[in-house]
Amino acid sequence: MPLSLLSLAAAAFGIGTTEFVVMGLLPDVARDLGVSIPSAGLLVTGYALGVVVGAPLLAILTAKLPRKATLVGLMALFIAGNILCALSPSYWLLMGARIVTAFCHAAFFGIGSVVAADLVPKNRRAQAIALMFAGLTLANVLGVPAGTAFGQWLGWRATFWGVAVIGLGALAALIVLLPSRLPMTGSGILAEFRVMGDVQVLLAMVISVLCSASLFSVFTYISPLLAASAGLSPEIITGALLLFGVGLTAGNMLGGRLADWKLMPSLLVTLVVLIAVLLVFVPASGAMVPALATLGVWGVLAFALVPLLQLRVVDTAAAAPNLASTLNQGAFNLGNAAGAWIGAVAITHGMAYQHLPFVGAALAAAALGLSALSASLDGTARRAALQAGE
């Protein structure tokens, strides 16, 4: 793998850290800015909405710009947004700064996925995408816990200064390591919009939403689930979340290899196994050892889907992949929000925390059905092409 991919992974690490680190600092932020903790929690929602809104906007604005200059500019925007977060004297200014920071998220991962795939031979494209996303998974394992501890020690503003420094390092790496002349994949903004009408592209994005919703319908409430079902202490739950993060990182790299091997068969099999694991999680969550074992396997499977789905979008939108790849990041974030909401509705209507994996399994089953449909359409298109060739 070329060293230039490490610059993309470093940037992904910084972006992932700033997205999630505020969760561990909510009491500090709320106390300092004079708002309630639920209000401070909306900073997470604001960021997610910024990703969804920023995805199409920045994809359009950067459609004709050189890829390296675009990625460097997005990282500069990321640095500026984190500095604004650190300096924000009020809640609403902090919210605005978070949204500014989020604008670069979807565009960077979307364009970065296309660039990563173009930097390597065709049979290693998904592994290249997975290496970039490894920065995001490592952010959850290392960046978020370290950023939380740093903010609790020196104040929450220090965390955002620290993330800005990470961004500066990533910016330098992008400038030095990325080739100056990256291929301009695609045929202009009109072609980018036309490809969004392709059924297979739309199916891939809906599958991304469902897979992400499956994860967050359960993971959002994993702490009360483990506490209520298995009786785990806060200290053990912290270790469980670290285990889950390690599973995400391993799954990301596994998914890259599977996608380069056989993309659609791997997607279908991964979803089948994921559904089975979620169903097993219901009884397994009642005791510590089986709960932790199932949690680790679930983490591997949940993030193995990410490079599979991202490459699927890039492949189905091959003629004009930039907008589709960027919008797929918005699809993942839409799934995050939808999954958390669906889980909340289930709990509000009396579902026990222990039974939330049934919800995740149902959403994954919907993703499996659409994936089977997409694979069937692939087969139909191949047969039509063969007949036309005859």
Domain spans in the chain, listed from the N-terminal domain onward: 1-182, 186-390
For residue 119, what pLDDT is reported? 87
What is the rounded distance in angstroms from the CA atom of residue 72 to the CA atom of residue 53? 20
For residue 148, what pLDDT is reported? 78
What is the rounded distance in angstroms from the CA atom of residue 164 to the CA atom of residue 83? 6
CATH number of 1-182: 1.20.1250.20
For residue 361, what pLDDT is reported? 97
201-256, pLDDT tens digit by residue? 999 999 999 999 999 889 878 888 888 888 888 778 878 878 888 898 899 889 98
For residue 66, what pLDDT is reported? 83
Distance of CA 206 to the CA centre of its chain: 15
For residue 389, what pLDDT is reported? 65
For residue 189, what pLDDT is reported? 63
For residue 329, what pLDDT is reported? 81
Tell me which DSSP letter residue 182 carries: -
Query: Dihedral of the CA atoms 360, 363, 368, 371 (nearest 10)?
Result: -130
Percentage above 90 pLDDT, the chain: 38
For residue 170, what pLDDT is reported? 93
For residue 264, what pLDDT is reported? 94
Residue scoring higher pLDDT (282 or 16)? 282
- Token pair listed for 292: 């932790």
How many CB atoms neighbour CB 99 within 10 A? 19
Confidence category of residue 62, pLDDT binned at 50, 70, 90: confident
- Token pair listed for 211: 């897979």
Has residue 191 got a pLDDT over 70? no
Q: What 3-state class would DSSP assign to 225?
A: helix
- Token pair listed for 304: 């193995």
For residue 85, what pLDDT is reported? 93
Percent composition of the chain: helix, strand, coil (DSSP 3-state, to 5): 85, 0, 15
- The answer to whether the pTM exceeds 0.85 is no
What is the rounded distance in angstroms from the CA atom of residue 174 to the CA atom of residue 151? 27
- Token pair listed for 105: 């998220």
122-146, pLDDT tens digit by residue? 888 888 888 888 888 888 778 877 8
For residue 185, what pLDDT is reported? 56
For residue 171, what pLDDT is reported? 95
- Token pair listed for 31: 């106390």
**Common-topology check for domains 1-182 and 186-390:** yes
Task: Classify burial at 196, counting beta carbons within 10 Å of its beta carbon; exposed 0-12, middle 13-18, buried 19 or more.
Answer: middle
Return the half-sphere exposure (C-beta side, CA atoms, 13 A cut-off) of residue 114: 34
Q: What 3-state class would DSSP assign to 77?
A: helix
73-77, 177-181, 199-203, 351-355: segment of lowest average pLDDT: 177-181
Return the half-sphere exposure (C-beta side, CA atoms, 13 A cut-off) of residue 55: 22
For residue 190, what pLDDT is reported? 66
Has residue 385 got a pLDDT over 80? no
- Token pair listed for 82: 């984190």
288-339, pLDDT tens digit by residue? 999 999 999 999 999 999 999 988 988 888 766 777 888 888 888 888 878 8
Residue scoring higher pLDDT (54 or 159)? 159
Fold of 186-390: Growth Hormone; Chain: A; (1.20.1250)
Q: Taking residues 355-368, report their average pLDDT.
A: 96
